[in-house]
Amino acid sequence: MNYKKIATGISWVLHPFLLPVYLMAVLLTMTAFSHYPPNVKFYLLWVVALYAIVIPLLSLGVLRSLGRISDYRIDDRRERFLPLLVGAVCYVLCAITIAKIPSAIFLRKFMVAAACCEVLCLVVSFYWKISLHLTGMGAVVALLVVMNVVGVGNMLVPLMVAILCAGALASARLYLGCHNGWQVLAGFCGGFAVSVLAVLFL
C-alpha cells in the first residue's frame, strides 16, 4: 500500500481552502439554516467558495508568477505573509457579504473566526512554522463543539467525523514530513482557541 499517496490525498481533501465549504454545506443541511430557500443556500455556498477557494487560488497564481512564492504549497514560512494576508482579507470580505443576511449572524461569525485563524498563522509564521492544515481543522472542530453546546442543530455526528479527520490529517502531515508534532499540535490548539474566542466575543 502506498501510504505516501494516501497521506497526500488526505492533505488535499482536507486542505484549508476546502474546509469552509464543507462546513457551510453541513450548516445548510443539518441546522436551522436548512430552511433557507435554495437560492439563498446557493448564494451562501457561492460566496464562501469565491472567498475561500477561488480568490486565494488566483492570488497564489499571481504571487507564483511574480516570484513571491517558490511553491504553491508555501512550505517556506517566510513566504507565507502575503498568501495569509490575502486569506484574512478574503474572509473579512466574506463576513461582510454574509452580513447582508441578518439571520445568518452565526455564519458571519464563522468567517470572522476563519479570518482570525489566518491572522494567527500570519503572526506565528514570522517566528515559527505552524501547520496551516491543522489550524483550519482545529477551527472546524471548535465551531462544531460550540454548535453542540449552544444547540444549533444536532452536530454530534459531524463533530465525531471532524475529530477523526483531524487525527487522520495530523498523521498525514507528520508522515509526509511537512511538520513536527509540536507544529501540528500548535496549529490545532491555536485554531481551536482562536475560533472559540472569535465566535463568542466578535
Please give the full DSSP string across 49-95, using - where no structure is assigned: HIIIIIHHHHHHHHHHHTTS-S-TT--SGGG-HHHHHHHHHHHHHHH
Beta carbons of 112 and 202 less than 8 angstroms apart: yes
Question: Is the confidence at residue 1, as pLDDT, over 70?
Answer: no
Q: What is the pLDDT of residues 137-165, one digit of tens each?
A: 999 999 999 988 887 767 889 999 999 99
| Residue with cell string 476563519 | 114
| Whole-number Å distance between alpha carbons of 69 and 118 | 17
Q: What is the pLDDT of residues 88-113, one digit of tens each?
A: 999 999 999 998 887 788 889 999 99
| The model scores a pTM over 0.95 | no
Beta carbons of 110 and 200 less than 8 angstroms apart: no
For the segment 130-139, the average pLDDT, to the nearest whole number, is: 95
| Whole-number Å distance between alpha carbons of 46 and 64 | 25
Q: What is the pLDDT of residues 47-58, one digit of tens each?
A: 999 999 999 999
Question: Is the confidence at residue 34, as pLDDT, over 90?
Answer: no
- Residue 58: which residues within 8 A CB-CB, separation 6 or more? none
Q: Which amino acid is at 98?
A: I
Beta carbons of 178 and 56 less than 8 angstroms apart: no
Beta carbons of 63 and 83 less than 8 angstroms apart: yes
Question: Is the confidence at residue 128, as pLDDT, over 70?
Answer: yes
The pLDDT of residue 58: 94
